[in-house]
Amino acid sequence: MQLMVLNGPNLNLLGSREPQVYGHTTLAQIMQALIDEAAPLGYTIVPYQSNHEGDLVDKVQLAKHEKYSGIIINPGGYTHTSVALRDAISAVDLPTVEVHLSNIHAREEFRHFSYIAPVALGQITGFGAMGYSLALRALTAYLDNRI
């Protein structure tokens, strides 16, 4: 089964962007670790990153048509602004887990609100790169009817 992993704006800068907040691990390293972790569970990870809202909306819609089993998404700054991304996730009706490297609830007030959270299975925030692994474990447990 395939899982789409979507990463929003500025996540391509991981490893060099504000390492005190986001760590030193690159997005490529995080995605490779996730691919390696998913394989023994019987899942294939298909990662994608874009700085453009419409690209992410297109990928969410594509996930339904290409028969993905679920989505892991770190919407980056679009978490707090994108009704379009929220509506796409709602429309495709695929189980989705929202991930954030930093604890968005412990940061600036504008980061506390997520348009994505109400249409996601859950939100994992504040555990750095490990958040993707936690999201994978939660999503596959849900898909395998273990939770």
Mean of all residue pLDDT scores within the chain: 94
List 22, 43, 68, 78, catalytic entry: 22
CA dihedral angle for residue 10, residue 11, residue 12, residue 15, rounded to 10 degrees: 110
User: Is 111 part of any known ligand binding site?
Assistant: yes
pLDDT (mean) for 11-38: 90
Whether 22 is a known active-site residue: answer yes
Q: Is the pLDDT of residue 146 over 80?
A: no
The answer to whether 86 is a known ligand-binding residue is: no
- Selected catalytic residue, list 78, 100, 115, 132: 100
pLDDT tens profile 78-113: 999 999 999 999 999 999 999 999 999 988 898 899
Q: Is 103 exposed, middle or buried (0-12, 13-18, 19+ CB in 10 A)?
A: middle
80 is in an annotated binding site: yes
Q: Is the pLDDT at 20 greater than 90, yes or no?
A: no
Instruction: Write out the two tokens for 146.
Output: 């273990």
State yes or no: pLDDT of 45 exceeds 80: yes
Whether 28 has a pLDDT exceeding 90, the answer reads: yes
Q: Is 100 a catalytic residue?
A: yes
Whole-angstrom Cα distance, residue 115 to residue 80?
6
Q: What pLDDT was estimated at residue 16?
A: 84
Structural domains in the chain, sorted by start: 2-144 (3.40.50.9100)
In single-letter form, the type of residue at position 16 comes to S
Give residue 117's pLDDT.
Answer: 97
pLDDT at 21 over 80: no
DSSP 124: E
Q: In what order do the strands lie in the sheet with 44-49?
A: 44-49, 2-7, 70-74, 96-100, 122-125
What is the share, in percent, of the chain residues with pLDDT greater than 70? 100
Quick one: DSSP state of residue 132?
Answer: H
pLDDT of residue 53 exceeding 90: yes
